Amino acid sequence: MSAWLDAFIPIFGLLALGAALRRTLLREDAVWAGIERLVFWVLLPCLIVNALAAVDLRALPVGGLAAAFWGALSLGTALSFALARGLRQDHAAMTSVLQGGIRFNNLMGFAIAGAIWGAPGLALAAVATAVATGLIVPFVQAVATVAFALGGGRRVTAFGVARQVGLNPLILACLIGFAAGALGGLPPGLAPTVRGLGQASVALGLLCVGAALTLKGLGDRIGVQAATAALKLGIMPAATWLVAAALGLGPLPTAVAVLFMALPTAATSYVMARAMGGDARLMAAITTSEHIAAMVTLPVWIWVLAE
């Protein structure tokens, strides 16, 4: 029980604290924008590098995790399209349902994996982040490009998508971490520096996620929000578990893969929806409602995985 409390109370407590700080002490958007950039470009990459530099890549089931994610993503994408079509949503709203159905909050995954499974969990979480970032970012971008083009939205080129993926700091961090691990780890002096920066990423990142959540618009298309949350927090992790079992993944890799797919959508989904001309209002509502629902569903999934 204490392990569960140590895993979930800090996570949701930091989300709540971030929301409170955004509305009281730190109301300026520029403050949170700066912290978000620091986490994304410096702190979270350091966490990934530190986690991967200490493990043997050959001992990690990278191919199995990639296959499990591909299977779950394929099903999730098809169901997201079917859901949006069945609920008669337009192209812009469809992209919000898609992001809400297949993207996830990396920082929550790191926090839970580290608290429950320790260093091995963190290493697999880093691999899951590498695999998922390499798959989901270009995949969502490509699908959103087609949808926005059909709906008259902003045009995104294949070169632009490839460039964004290639320069993604999380992917670069994974490459650096794998290289460091192959060379025997980070050198003395640099290792504690990277470790200290990485440890700061989870707390600051979760504060930023909490600050980005808003209760405004929660009454907008409640049925769409509920259906998307059921897909993301229920169907997606169950599908991932089935795929992982079919692939013969071990218990810990399976647990980490299911955990990541059971997480609520990324807070940056709203930023992408707004930047690309999507239904930002619906995306904000889905992001908030999924994080609220995850307070119940995440502990249940962890309990099931632990059985």
- Which amino acid is located at 230 in the chain? A
State the total domains in the chain. Answer: 1
Residue range 104-133, pLDDT digits in tens: 888 898 888 888 888 888 888 887 877 766
In CATH, what number is assigned to the domain containing residue 75? 1.20.1530.20
Query: Which residue, 83, 131, 110, is CA-closest to 202?
Result: 110
Whole-angstrom distance, CA of residue 72 vs CA of residue 101: 11
Structure letter (DSSP) for residue 262:
T
Query: Which residue, 75, 80, 120, 121, is CA-closest to 97?
Result: 80
Q: What does each of the 307 residues of the chain score in pLDDT, given as a tens digit?
A: 566 677 788 888 998 999 999 999 999 989 998 998 898 889 988 988 888 887 776 777 778 888 888 888 889 989 999 999 999 998 889 888 988 998 888 889 888 888 888 888 888 888 787 776 666 656 665 665 565 555 555 555 666 656 666 677 877 887 888 888 888 889 989 999 999 999 898 889 889 888 888 887 788 899 999 999 999 999 999 999 999 999 998 899 999 999 999 999 987 787 777 766 678 889 889 999 999 999 999 999 988 887 6
Task: Give the domain range for residue 67.
Answer: 2-306
- For residues 167-180, one letter each, b for 16 or more C-beta atoms within 10 angstroms of the residue's C-beta and e for the rest, the string is ebbbbebbebbbeb
Residue range 165-186, pLDDT digits in tens: 667 787 788 788 888 888 888 9
Whole-angstrom distance, CA of residue 286 vs CA of residue 306: 28
Q: Which helix (H) or strand (E) holds 70?
A: helix 62-86
